[in-house]
Structure formats: C-alpha cells, structure tokens
C-alpha cells in the first residue's frame, strides 16, 4: 500500500536552526585553525635523543608513572632495566606483571628498606653503592633502551651517593637511552640536567584518613 506523502517515512528532516548552524561552523573553523597551528608545532620538532626524565614531588604515582613507560617500551619489544634504591625486595604487582617479560625486563630490587627502617647509615650507603654499580652497568648497554632508577632521589637526598658522580654517569650513558629517576625531593642539580621534570602534587590522600596501603593500589 502506498503511504501518504505526509507520512513520517517521507518527511524531510528539519534543518537545524540557523544559530546552531552558525555555532557548528564557528567551531569547525576554530578547530581547523588550531589543527594548523598544532601540525606546524609538531613538524618543527625534529630532534630525537635519549631523555632524562624526573618524577618527583609529594604526590602519589611517581614510580607508577615510570612503570607505565616501562610497559610502553616492552610493548615495542625493547629492553628495560629497573634498579630500585632504598626499597626492599617487596612483592609488588608491577614486579609480578613484568616478570612475564623476563626476556625484556631486568628487575633489581637492591634496597634494604627505607632509612627509618634500617636505622644504619653505613648499611644504607653500601646498599646504594651496590645498586649504583648495577645502574651504571645498565646505562652502558646499547641493547637497553630504558633504565628506571626508582627512588634514586631519596638516596641522593641523604647523600648516600655523590650527586656529581651520578650526574656524570647519567650524562655518559649509551646514546639514545632513556633514564627515569623517581622519588621525592629531587636535587636542583638533577632537575637542571633533566629533559623532562614532572612534579606530582598531593591534593588529597586516603592514607590521611586511616586507609592502609592496599594491594593493587600501593603495591
């Protein structure tokens, strides 16, 4: 049966009001201009180099962000070395996960606990010295694309390692290699040498409300 011409199936969709059309046009033109500026900005960046990245500040997530970059690197089938200072050999979710990529990720937990736990400065210095020897060796390997120096800032803060030697060793690493340093209170000399510095602030933390460290969130 033939439907009447005024049946909904034959109705022409109503055009958007003129104000809506003008708004859509202005938005499209604005985004086109923004894209042109952005494309020009991206095209102007031609340098490729190994980066020194520092994650510092009082907020949570400094190491977590570093491990996110580890995951990206592993995703491209490239090798990573993680060296943990201060922290003991904790059973963490990120370590468990990255153990599945043992052909690409080397994990060295060489700390013996935070300074208030060991209460032994000489022991802390010895542990950091051993960890730095491993880190320096990793930074000389051309097959390693990324080295994570987790909580190195804490070791530097307490002068467990000489800052001048650390900076020299990082600067002398294999060309093209990326290094991430994490931990609170990064020293000004390290910030000056870094290519990228991210300071994580703390707006609110559940620990202050009596919530303990939980699996999958803190470790």
**What pLDDT is attached to residue 160?**
95
Say if 38 falls within a structural domain.
no
Say if 89 falls within a structural domain.
yes
Distance CA 45, CA 123 (A): 46
Structural domain range at position 69: 52-198
Higher-pLDDT residue of 49, 90: 49
Q: What is the DSSP letter of 100?
A: G
Say if 95 falls within a structural domain.
yes
pLDDT digits (tens, 9 = 90+) for 83-95: 999 876 678 889 9
Say if 156 falls within a structural domain.
yes
**What pLDDT is attached to residue 184?**
96
114: CATH = 3.40.50.300
- The total domain count for the chain is 1
Kindly tell me if the per-residue pLDDT of 72 is higher than 60. Answer: yes
Say if 21 falls within a structural domain.
no
Higher-pLDDT residue of 179, 27: 179
Q: What residues form DSSP beta bridges with 54?
A: 181, 197
Higher-pLDDT residue of 106, 1: 106
Kindly tell me if the per-residue pLDDT of 6 is higher than 60. Answer: no
Q: Helix (H, G, I), strand (E, B), or coil: what is residue 55?
A: strand
Kindly tell me if the per-residue pLDDT of 102 is higher than 70. Answer: yes
């Amino acid at each position: 049966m033939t439907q009447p011409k005024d049946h909904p199936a034959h109705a022409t969709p109503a055009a958007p009001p003129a104000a809506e059309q003008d708004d859509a046009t202005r938005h499209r033109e604005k985004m086109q201009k923004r894209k042109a500026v952005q494309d020009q900005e991206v095209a102007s960046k031609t340098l490729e180099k190994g980066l020194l990245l520092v994650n510092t500040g009082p907020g949570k997530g400094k190491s977590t962000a570093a491990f996110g970059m580890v995951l990206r690197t592993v995703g491209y089938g490239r090798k990573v070395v993680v060296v943990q200072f201060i922290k003991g050999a904790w059973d963490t979710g990120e370590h468990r996960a990255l153990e599945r990529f043992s052909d690409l990720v080397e994990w060295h937990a060489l700390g013996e606990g935070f300074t208030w736990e060991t209460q032994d400065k000489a022991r802390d210095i010895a542990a950091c010295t051993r960890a730095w020897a491993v880190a320096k060796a990793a930074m000389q390997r051309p097959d390693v694309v990324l080295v994570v120096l987790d909580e190195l800032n804490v070791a530097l803060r307490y002068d467990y390692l000489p800052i001048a030697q650390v900076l020299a060793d990082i600067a002398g690493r294999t060309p093209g290699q990326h290094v991430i340093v994490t931990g609170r209170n990064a020293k000004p000399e390290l910030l000056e040498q870094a290519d990228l510095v991210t300071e994580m602030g703390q707006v609110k933390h559940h620990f202050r409300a009596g919530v303990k460290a939980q699996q999958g969130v803190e470790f």
